[in-house]
Amino acid sequence: MPIPITRLTLPNGLVLHLKEIHDAPLVSHWVWYRVGSRNEVPGRTGISHWVEHMQFKGTPDFPAGILDKAISRTGGMWNAFTYLDWTTYFETMPADTIDLGLRLEADRMTASIYDPDEVEHERTVVISEREGDENEPLFRLGEAVQSASFDRHPYRSEVIGSQADLHHITRDELYQHYRTYYQPGNAVVAVAGDFDTEAMIMRLRELYEKVPGEFTERLSLPPEPPLESERRVIVEGPGETTFLQLAFRSPAASDPDFFAMTVLDSLLTGPTSLNMFGGGGVSNRTSRLYRTLVEGELAVSVHGGLPATIDPFTYDITITVRPDKTADQVLAAVEKEIYLLQNTPVAEAEVARAIKQARALFAYGSENITNQGFWLGYAEMFASYAWFENYLQQLEAVTPADVQRVAQTRFTPNSRVTGIYLPTGNEEESHS
């Protein structure tokens, strides 16, 4: 029997989602803001993620550094994530200590300091985070493919931002970004776990009702026109391994095609889990591309990714090519599989299987209170909570004809960005 959810909106626009679960003496508390790289302009890429870092740098009531210790002392954990459409903060703590998490999030919605010294200090930390990413061939390839996939839409930039922008963004720009988007009307507070709903609502009202509701506008961006022809990007770098990444424009999460696309992804590259915390996944050894590419000895691995986003983003297929094969040989085999999906209806059983997999993944994710808290707010950031509630039903409604139609309309060669990481070989590795 599904556990009921309590939902309400405070006068200042803040949305609350609560779900009592008494299996373990834990509470997971999340605050979601509708701001991410989608809200960034050229010259300030990476600003949303950097703001997220600054949100850990203190307020007058909770100076920098004390919260890490205060939360660790309870045995709880906290963290934050910035993505294309959203930024989120969470604390999962023993139930009798969660009030600290509630207080600190309400406090830093408005009271973060953005001390200039802390800003400079965090500039080096964020640049260091980016430099760590740049060590990875797949990050470099992914960044190039993403930027080739859009001409105008802010989705063209990596969430971490460009090196150049990270060197130039100012303290005042960061603060301005923070004050613009960290508003009750732009946020969702989600709480799951071992608490009493009435008492929790009363406490959240106390903490948040005094915050004035200033933000109303939701950013609406003009749609990016479809690509007119295939784009190819080549990234050269060290190593011996060739990687191939294909990106097709994906449907927005709120587009009915998103669910057919989810089934398509499952058939092609294996099921993707919505669980951000725990639960694990299901392997993809029987997916069509694994069979063709890996069992066919063209590649050593293949993965697909279909993020749920406000605007159309990309559906990516990432392939590690075998050393004795070329990217073009792999590409030809992928095209053959796509042709097959476009021209032959899939079996009902294949669709049913994708649904059973999704159901199992939900069951695994439900064991974990942090994941339960995550689910409560996540879908609000790109669609609505109903999106999440209806997820399995929507999948069940997908027909083989839908899958075929989506394959035909979404996987046209002209709409594809093809990225290849070409290894330049290993220069003699040296020890000193």
Partner 1 sequence: MSPNIHWKSLPGPQDIHRSELSNGITLLCRRNGASPSVVISGYLIAGSQFDPPEKAGLAYLTSLMLMRGTQKHSFQQIFDALESAGASLGFGASVHNVSFSGRSLAEDLPLLLDLTAECLFTPTFPLDQLERLRAQMMTGFAMREQDTEEMASMRFEEILFPDHPYGRAEDGYTETVRPLTQAELITFHQTHYGPKGMVIVVVGSIEPQQVAAMVEERFGTWQNPHQTAAAPFPPIHSLTTSTREHIAITGKIQSDLVMGCLGPHRKSPDYLAASLGNNILGQFGMMGRIGDVVREQAGLAYSASTSLNAWIAAGSWEVSAGVNPVNLDKAIDLIIVELRRFTSEQVTAEELADSQANYIGRLPLSLESNGGVAGALLNLERFQLGLDYYQRYPTLIQAVTRAEVLEAARRWLDADRLAIVSAGPARE
Residues 252-281 interacting with partner 1 (rule: CB under 8 A): 270-271, 278-281
3-class state of residue 52 by DSSP: helix
Check binding of 76 to partner 1 (CB under 8 A): yes
> Which residue in the set 9, 72, 79, 409 belongs to the binding site for partner 1 (CB under 8 A)?
72
Place of tokens 């990050």: 139
Cβ proximity to partner 1: between 37 and 320 the closer is 320
What does each C-alpha distance from 375 to 4, 13, 109, 167 come to in angstroms? 14, 20, 21, 35
Check binding of 303 to partner 1 (CB under 8 A): no
Cβ proximity to partner 1: between 73 and 168 the closer is 73
> Taking CB under 8 A as the rule, which mask of x and - marks residues 5-24 in contact with partner 1?
------------------xx
Cβ proximity to partner 1: between 211 and 268 the closer is 268
The answer to whether 127 touches 166, Cβ cutoff 8 Å, is yes
Cβ proximity to partner 1: between 227 and 346 the closer is 346
Check binding of 94 to partner 1 (CB under 8 A): yes
3-class state of residue 423 by DSSP: strand
Check binding of 79 to partner 1 (CB under 8 A): no
C-alpha 267/C-alpha 180 separation (Å) is 42
Sites for partner 1 among residues 121-150 (CB under 8 A): 121-129, 131-132, 134-135, 137
Residue 208: name the closest of 182, 180, 174 by CA: 182
Check binding of 198 to partner 1 (CB under 8 A): no
Cβ proximity to partner 1: between 9 and 286 the closer is 286
> Which residue in the set 4, 25, 212, 413 belongs to the binding site for partner 1 (CB under 8 A)?
25
26-33 and 187-193 beta bridge pairing: antiparallel
Minimum CB separation of residue 212 from partner 1 in Å reads 32
Residue 138: name the closest of 249, 243, 241, 232 by CA: 243
Contacts of 391 (CB under 8 A, 6+ apart): 274, 358
Sites for partner 1 among residues 203-262 (CB under 8 A): 237-241
> Which residue in the set 172, 198, 230, 295 belongs to the binding site for partner 1 (CB under 8 A)?
295
Size of site (CB under 8 A) for partner 1: 80
The answer to whether 23 touches 219, Cβ cutoff 8 Å, is no
280 secondary structure, DSSP code = -
Cβ proximity to partner 1: between 276 and 282 the closer is 282
Cβ proximity to partner 1: between 306 and 369 the closer is 369
Residue 390: name the closest of 218, 259, 246 by CA: 259
Sites for partner 1 among residues 308-367 (CB under 8 A): 320, 322-324, 353, 356-361, 363-364, 366-367
Check binding of 396 to partner 1 (CB under 8 A): no
Check binding of 63 to partner 1 (CB under 8 A): no
Place of tokens 């808290």: 373
3-class state of residue 296 by DSSP: coil
Cβ proximity to partner 1: between 113 and 300 the closer is 300
Residue 400: name the closest of 264, 266, 306 by CA: 264
258-286 burial by CB neighbour count: b if 16+ within 10 A, else e? bbbbbbbbbbbbbbbbbbbbebeebebee
